[in-house]
Amino acid sequence: MPDQIGYLGPAGTYTEQAALLYAPDAELRPYPTISAVGAAVVADELESGVVPIENSLEGSVTFTLDLLIAESGLSICNEVVIPIDHYLVAPPGVSADTVEVIYSHPQALAQCRAYLGEHFPTVTREASLSTVAAVIDMQASRVPAAAICPQRATEIYDVQVIAQSIQDNSANQTRFVALAHDDHPPTGHDRTSISFAFAIDRPGNLYHAIGEFSERNINLVKIESRPTKQELGRYIFLIDCEGHREEPAVAAALHGLREYADVFKILGSYPCWEPSAG
């Protein structure tokens, strides 16, 4: 029986494309939201679930970060990186000059900001749950509408293509992660993601925490913060570093960091994505 892999649906999303690369022989199951994918993994409905976590133009997907921070039963076990190529579509017979609203996922709308500003400066932009849900929203619209979606969606739904490759940057890429109960064994070419917070804000907290990695010559590939949602001005820090949590140097750095932080969680160790792996 093939593995059950969930993804942010419906069928035709970039996340489905990433899930196909991650597990081409699995049975793929779409879910309407990132949190629904995570809940299905926690409930053992799925072996793993694929969700977006970072875009090269717009940065992190906060829904995924918040899910990883809050949910103790989830770890990152793998990652997939794919190029993003946005299409602008409309129902058959709807011309571009009659469009009154454009639907898409907030990330896609942001990634096409320049194109939309030039060609549709006065048209309303509406957020959808995904780039394919945008097509469904467009089809249900009571006024002439368009949607920004993946190329794959143009093959699944009855739409006409108005324009393609409308993203602001041709180097647009999104990183997706596979969520499971456990992370991945060491491969020799890994990344580790962690989150941590301080109960009391003191000078040097973050400096000393990051120093644990510098002292051991461990490269940090990403650092950012998210609000704790408990008090204004309090933050949870998120770090990605090179190496696996079981490697001695990384393990020592994590142990040292744990001494400074009052809240600490390893979000997972997993293989770094290589295009040849897909």
176 is catalytic: yes
Q: Does the pLDDT at position 264 exceed 90?
A: yes
The one-letter amino acid at 170: S
Convert the pLDDT of each residue in 177-215 to its tens digit: 999 999 999 999 999 999 999 988 788 888 989 999 999
Which pLDDT tens digit goes with each residue over 216-237?
A: 999 999 999 999 888 787 889 9
Query: One-letter amino acid identity for 172?
Result: N
Catalytic pick from 15, 64, 131, 176? 176
Q: What is the pLDDT of residues 99-142, one digit of tens each?
A: 999 999 898 999 899 999 999 999 999 999 888 989 999 999 99
**pLDDT of 278 above 50:** no
176, 270 contact by CB (below 8 A): no
Query: How do 145-150 and 86-90 pair as beta strands?
Result: antiparallel
Given 13, 15, 131, 174, the catalytic residue:
174
Shortest CA distance to 12 belongs to which of 173, 109, 156, 178? 156
Is the CB of residue 175 less than 8 Å from the CB of residue 18? no
Mean pLDDT of the chain: 92
Question: Residue 111 is inside which H or E element, if any?
Answer: helix 106-111
Ordered domains of the chain (ranges, CATH): 4-83+172-180 (3.40.190.10), 86-164 (3.40.190.10), 190-277 (3.30.70.260)
Predicted structure pTM score: 0.83
Q: Is beta strand 173-180 parallel, antiparallel or unpaired with respect to 75-83?
A: antiparallel
Active site residue 264: no
